[in-house]
């Protein structure tokens, strides 16, 4: 943290400029590193040209003003070094907000921090990392209350905190969010509100409202495709749930399910999925109903860490039926009827006489009808008359006298 040196003055006062590196309690039981920007050097960089030594209003060119400011900067730093020449101390220079120096002045000041014998450039990180900096002094703790009307108000900071929480939620589901996602937008809000220009706070609130609306719209691009109703073919099955991602980058979310108490059970499934940009991903949830009927599943999306996404809740009605058991019964009955029918046909076919046997029976009937039912003067084909008699020689042998006494029998043979 960088503060103005006037916010933590030495206590008691010392006859030299202490080092800019110090600490202060952070309110959580530990110490916060603080760098104090020298207020005197900051005034040198911020004062208008008319207040520079050797220049008056309306006199001097921009080059002369830059040279005067440069010399004043060198004189101030030389005095700080001369206050305690044997003690190395850190001096932090913080230009005023929206400082817009000319190229010549900025280049000259940076070059002098390198070439001047009593100055040596250093980074802020290296100053904080110094274990035991020299030139320290006891300092008064900064005030905890508002000390300026230009400070950020508590209401604005609360709004900023809520929007930052929204940004953090959106960032947590992005597969590749990038460094400091949307952080520059929040920085712009705080900088505008702290600028002190007329209407700065009003402009900051408008910017903050726009950022919040943008983040909310981005979160709404991730949703559950509402399936309304799913009918199971029995008391168990899989319920498909689709997750839509209309963002321009991939996301990683967790699907959560809450069933109706006592009516349906959710089997184990993997709810953590990655959805590519502009696509949908379907998850099949295995369910088992205690009885046939209607149950309601409550669905919502969360971050991989378990934080729910606003506006992602949906409800799915599941209808469990007896179709599975009924289908098995119907198939069994149909199979039994088929087996019985096939067996009956096989039995009937087995009871029928072969084709050859049927011909012989007809021939026998014709043979019996020959002597009794046919006219003796019948002059049909002899082969029919003779052939049956040859097929039954045993009958002729049994009654030789009777056939011999029949008139005209000898001529027919």
Q: What is the pTM of this model?
A: 0.47
Percent of the chain residues topping a pLDDT of 90: 23
Lowest mean pLDDT among 49-63, 224-238, 260-274, 389-403: 389-403
Extents of the domains making up the chain: 2-129, 154-219, 222-324
Q: What letters, b where the CB count within 10 A reaches 16 and e where it falls short, cover 350-381?
A: eeeeeeeeeeeeeeeeebeeeeeeeeeeeeee
Percentage of residues in the chain having pLDDT higher than 70: 77
253 has pLDDT over 90: yes
Question: 4 near 40, Cβ under 8 Å?
Answer: no
- DSSP state, 6? G
| Residue ranges of E strands in 55-168 | none
Q: What is the mean pLDDT of residues 120-143?
A: 88
* Backbone CA torsion sign across 225, 230, 235, 238: negative
Instruction: Show Cβ contacts of residue 174 under 8 Å, excluding neighbours closer than 6 positions.
Output: 181, 247, 249, 250, 251, 252
Residues 57-79 have a mean pLDDT of 82
Of the candidate ranges 20-24, 246-250, 290-294, the one whose mean pLDDT is the lowest: 290-294
pLDDT digit string, tens, across residues 8-17:
999 898 999 9
**Beta strands of 176-313 (E only): which ranges?**
222-225, 229-231, 236-245, 251-258, 264-266, 272-275, 279-289, 293-302
Whether 353 contacts 263, CB under 8 Å = no
- The pair of structure tokens assigned to 146 is 């508002």
* pLDDT tens per residue, range 301-332: 999 989 999 988 888 888 877 655 555 566 67
Q: Which CATH number fits domain 222-324: 2.130.10.10, 3.40.920.10, 3.40.50.12780, 2.60.40.10?
A: 2.60.40.10
Q: What is the pLDDT of residue 327?
A: 58
């Amino acid at each position: 943290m960088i503060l103005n040196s006037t916010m933590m003055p030495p206590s008691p006062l010392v006859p030299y400029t202490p080092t800019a590196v110090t600490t202060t309690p952070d309110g959580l039981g530990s110490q916060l590193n603080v760098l104090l920007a020298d207020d005197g050097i900051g005034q040198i960089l911020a004062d208008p040209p008319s207040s520079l030594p050797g220049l008056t209003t309306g006199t001097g060119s921009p080059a002369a003003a830059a040279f005067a400011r440069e010399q004043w900067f060198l004189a101030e730093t030389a005095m700080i070094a001369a206050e305690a020449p044997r003690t190395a101390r850190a001096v932090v220079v913080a230009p005023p907000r929206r400082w817009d120096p000319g190229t010549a002045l900025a280049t000259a000041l940076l070059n002098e921090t390198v070439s001047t014998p009593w100055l040596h450039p250093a980074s802020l990180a290296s100053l904080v990392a110094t274990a035991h900096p020299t030139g320290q002094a006891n300092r008064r703790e900064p005030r905890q209350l508002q000390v300026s009307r230009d400070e950020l108000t508590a209401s604005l900071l609360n709004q900023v905190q809520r929007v930052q929480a929204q940004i953090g939620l959106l960032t947590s589901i992005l597969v590749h969010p990038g460094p400091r996602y949307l952080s520059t937008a929040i920085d712009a809000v705080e900088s505008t509100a702290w600028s002190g220009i007329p209407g700065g706070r009003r402009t900051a609130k408008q910017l903050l409202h726009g950022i919040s609306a943008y983040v909310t719209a981005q979160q709404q691009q991730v949703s559950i495709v509402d399936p309304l109703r799913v009918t199971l073919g029995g008391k168990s099955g899989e319920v498909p749930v689709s997750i839509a991602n209309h963002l321009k980058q991939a996301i990683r979310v967790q699907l959560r399910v809450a069933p109706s108490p006592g009516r349906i059970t959710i089997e184990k499934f993997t709810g953590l999925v990655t959805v590519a940009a502009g696509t949908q991903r379907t998850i099949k949830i295995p369910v088992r109903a205690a009885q046939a009927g209607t149950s309601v599943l409550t669905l919502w999306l969360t971050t991989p860490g378990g934080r729910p996404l606003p506006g992602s809740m949906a409800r799915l009605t599941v209808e469990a039926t007896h179709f599975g058991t009924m289908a098995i019964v119907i198939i069994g009955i149909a199979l039994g009827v088929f087996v019985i029918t096939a067996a009956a046909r096989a039995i009937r076919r087995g009871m029928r006489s072969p084709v050859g046997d049927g011909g012989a029976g007809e021939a026998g009937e014709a043979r019996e009808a020959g002597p009794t039912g046919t006219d003796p003067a019948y002059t049909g084909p002899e082969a029919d008359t003779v052939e049956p008699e040859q097929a039954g020689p045993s009958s002729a042998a049994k009654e030789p006298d009777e056939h011999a006494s029949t008139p005209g029998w000898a001529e027919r043979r």
